[in-house]
Homo-oligomer: A and B are copies of this chain.
Amino acid sequence: MSEELGIKTKKKENFNEWYLEVVQKAEIVDTRYGVKGFQIFMPLGMLAIDNIVKIFEEELQARDYKPVLFPTVIPESYLKRESKHIKGFEQEVFWITHAGKNKLEERLSLRPTSETAMYPMFALWIRSHSHLPLKIYQKGTVFRYDTKMTKPLLRGREFYWIEAHTAHKTWDDAEQQTKEDYEIFKETLDHFALPFLTLKRPDWDKFPGADATYAFDMVLPDGKLLQIGTTHNLGENFAKVFKVKYLDVKGKKKFVSQTSYGPGIMRILGAVISIHGDDKGVIFPPLIAPIQIVIIPIFTEQTKPKVLEKCGEVLGKLEEKDFRVHLDDRNQYTPGFKFNEWELKGVPLRIEIGPKDLEKRQVSFVRRDFLERFSVSEENLEQQVVETLDSINYQLSKRAIELLSVSDAKNYKEVKKALNKGGFVRIDFCMRESCSKNLKGDTGADVKGPLMEGGEKSTGNCSICNKKAKEKVYIGRSY
């Protein structure tokens, strides 16, 4: 409801300022709520979130994941059962202690993640090998009392995600599931034109209670890394605590092996804005754009009826083909004002229709990525819309891939230089936590880990400490 549309900050000059300006002026979120780290999703942000969720849900359901919804609260006794898990989260949990004027008998936590809510139920649901694999997911918000600086969509205390949980017969089946989770992530993020790397976190940075954590990391325009999702092989760790057992084909009782998987929906939206946006505002990839096409009539008093009639006709045609299309026929604004507004709000394709277009039986297209204008004959309208939207997604992808930079660094001097450039830095690494701590203290960078798929051999010495290297890993400064 801001009427000042222009973005003052240049993205290249100050990415962080630019980002804050864009998410607020485009009305993606409002950050003025009275509790630190809690934000409001405005209609444009909420519609985009819903579109992102829908695409994920289709991919999940196509692979037999079933939707559920667990309570928002987890009793303290559930949360504390897995000792590593509670240790990992105890500083971050919000506690409900009272209801009305009564003190509760047992404190309830706001879920920071739902393993400990769900797995007691897994123990009731799973009895035989025929119940496996069990694959469920839920969408919604979780709560973490994060003490770092908050940032809209990227870092907050209530965040929107999908969490998916599975149980399998064997550790290897669980490991296989993490690979399927990667596939789901890859296919979904292709729709958003977002490239990423999947890295196996070193032991000291695993999810609390997991055997292995694979994280999806990308590079933002300021060169910092952003984790936008994870999948964990939990092995039998939680199954042993929550007694989740099954009878195998031979009638023997065994613990299930589990995974948990968390696509960070809110961060993905933050990444979409960060990576694709420009000095005019947001650029939505067509598949998640709340409005894919905006039609703007250009007329004088005299030509108005005919122009509006044609606009209505085009609107009808495109709506019939299930495009999300909007006709901006507001009287009180000039076409120029409207161009700015819809550019700010990221509509991928603008169609302008004026009296000259009517004569020539054509319309004008302006694509949001290059902001170039070209004429399209009415006959080819639908086909050209499809092609243009496809081309926009392709171009956004191409730009985004360029941003996902990886530089190699052979020694500590090169490491520091490369870190200052930003993006991923690939090094030979000794895999010692102490060495990673030294790196963090000295440069602020984290060791993110080797590629999930492996295949990159390390031969030399550690680029940081010069001791014998064990793995090729990716490092970088992160959010």
Contact residues of A with B, CB < 8 Å? 1, 30, 32-35, 38-43, 46-47, 49-50, 66-73, 75, 77-78, 90-102, 108, 110, 117, 120-121, 124-127, 130-131, 136, 138, 140-141, 143, 145, 158, 160, 332
Contact = CB atoms under 8 A, between A and B. Distances in A.
- Counting every copy of the chain, the complex holds 2
B145 A100 contact: yes
A72 B143 contact: yes
A121 B69 contact: no
The SS class assigned to the A binding surface is mixed
B100 A35 contact: no
Q: What 7 pairs between A and B have smallest CB-CB spacing? A: A43-B66, A99-B145, A38-B71, A41-B69, A95-B98, A91-B100, A46-B67
Contact of A158 (B42, B50, B73, B141): B73
Given A43-B67, A68-B42, A71-B35, A94 B90 contact: no
Scoring A35, A66, A101, A117 by chain B CB atoms within 10 A of each residue's CB, the highest score goes to A35
Contacts of A33: 70-71, 117, 121
A71 B158 CA distance: 7
A69 B94 contact: no
7 contacts: A1-B126, A32-B124, A91-B101, A94-B99, A97-B98, A130-B332, A140-B140
Nearest to A124: B32
Contacts of A332: 130
A92 B141 CA distance: 22
Contacts of A131: 1
Nearest to A99: B145
B68 A46 contact: yes
A30 B121 contact: yes
Contacts of A102: 145
Contacts of A141: 72
A90 B97 contact: no
Contacts of A35: 71, 73, 75, 108
B99 A93 contact: yes
A34 B95 contact: no
Contacts of A92: 99-100
Contacts of A50: 67
